[in-house]
């Protein structure tokens, strides 16, 4: 089966990293869903959306250099926008989006916001702990990607005897 851009296929989640999930596809092929292509909402932890062994329907969004890029969110319906509000553009140049988190139906829960308390200044130990945590997270992600690459190379290359 030739995988072309726009094709929709069934697959199983093979492994999960901090940056995405590797999906087993038909014909012993593997593709990757980047964390930004998992859901229409912001995804901070991909493990809240996917689990290893889970069957998923994915769309092929690219095939570059033998790599297959996949998307789950492009198969989901687009979230409805309120026609009265301008779209959120982010940064300082666009209109601001009001409200807090949305529930699954896209409605914002009705609640009163408490006035913001200024945060206490962080100690040197707290700053160091935050930097260390960020470094460890990034390091784990990179090591996971390297391990995936090494596993893939060693399993797809015939062994030489000599």
- Calculate mean pLDDT across residues 62-67: 88
Cβ contacts of residue 109 below 8 Å, gap of 6+? Answer: 100, 101, 103
Strands 8-16 vs 55-64: parallel, antiparallel or unpaired: antiparallel
What is the model's pLDDT at position 144? 85
Query: By CB neighbour count within 10 A (0-12 exposed, 13-18 middle, 19+ buried), where does 162 fall?
Result: exposed
Categorize the per-residue pLDDT at 100 as very low, low, confident or very high, splitting at 50, 70 and 90: low
What 8-state DSSP symbol labels residue 25? E
| CA–CA distance, 109 with 61 (Å, rounded to integer) | 34
Q: What are phi and psi of 154, to 5 degrees?
A: -70, -30
Mean of per-residue pLDDT scores for the chain:
80
| CA–CA distance, 93 with 52 (Å, rounded to integer) | 41
Nearest CA to 23 out of 148, 150, 156 is that of: 148
pLDDT per residue over 2-20, tens digit each? 788 898 999 999 999 999 9
pLDDT per residue over 103-132, tens digit each? 555 555 555 555 666 667 778 888 888 888
Nearest CA to 97 out of 143, 154, 20, 42 is that of: 42
What is the model's pLDDT at position 84? 64
Specify the CATH class of 8-75 in words: mainly beta
Q: Where are the domains of the chain?
A: 8-75, 122-157
Whether the per-residue pLDDT at 142 is higher than 70: the answer is yes
CB-based contact 22:69 (threshold 8 Å): no
What is the model's pLDDT at position 131? 87
What is the model's pLDDT at position 13? 95
Q: What are phi and psi of 26, to 5 degrees?
A: -60, 160
């Amino acid at each position: 089966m030739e995988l072309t851009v726009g094709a929709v296929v069934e697959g199983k989640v093979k492994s999960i990293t901090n940056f995405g999930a590797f999906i087993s596809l038909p014909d012993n092929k593997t593709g990757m869903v980047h964390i930004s292509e998992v859901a229409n909402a912001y995804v901070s932890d991909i493990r809240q959306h996917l689990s290893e062994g889970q069957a998923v329907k994915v769309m092929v969004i690219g095939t570059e250099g033998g790599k297959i890029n996949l998307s789950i969110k492009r198969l989901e319906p687009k979230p409805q926008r309120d026609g009265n509000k301008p779209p959120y553009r982010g940064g300082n140049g666009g209109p601001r989006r009001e409200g807090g988190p949305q529930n699954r139906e896209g409605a914002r829960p009705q609640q009163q916001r408490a006035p913001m308390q200024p945060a206490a200044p962080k100690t040197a130990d707290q700053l160091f702990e935050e930097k260390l945590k960020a470094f460890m997270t990034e390091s784990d992600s990179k090591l996971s990607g390297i391990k995936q690459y090494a596993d893939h190379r060693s399993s797809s290359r015939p062994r030489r005897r000599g």
